[in-house]
Amino acid sequence: MIIITSCKKVESYITKDGSSIRELMHPLVHGNSAQSLAEARVPMGSSTLLHRHKITEEIYHILSGCGLLTLGEESVFVEEGDSVCIHPGTSHNIKNTGEKELRILCCCSPAYSHDDTEILE
């Protein structure tokens, strides 16, 4: 079975951390089995809420823009082309520090769930 989605046809929604997300591939919607893929957008000057996932490992790949990513007690500058692994249980958020919208590809395994997202602020 071939599963294909188009970003242009996927409606966005706001996640618990406050980012605008387009679920490009999610088991509950598209029929894949174990992971999810989403595009997140963070406007200039905005940030997501500090949060963590109990069981989900997340990978951020920066598609465009730049920002300051907080991981636990550390902060790191990220920009277009960077990828970062966020281990389960690690508190994190990202602030758009650039001159344009920050676009992030978010890969989650297991798939993203509001129930697995704990807001920390």
What mean pLDDT do residues 73-93 have? 98
Domains, the chain, in order of start with CATH, read: 11-119 (2.60.120.10)
Considering the entire predicted model, what is its pTM? 0.87
Return the ∠ at Cα 71 (arms to 68 and 76), rounded to 5°.
Answer: 35
pLDDT for residue 121 is more than 90:
no
- Spatial separation of the C-alpha atoms in residues 77 and 6, rounded to whole Å: 30
Give pLDDT tens digits for 63-75: 999 999 999 999 9
Q: What is the pLDDT of residue 95?
A: 98
Q: What pLDDT band is residue 96 in, cutting at 50, 70 and 90? A: very high
Question: pLDDT class for 7, splitting at 50, 70, 90?
Answer: confident
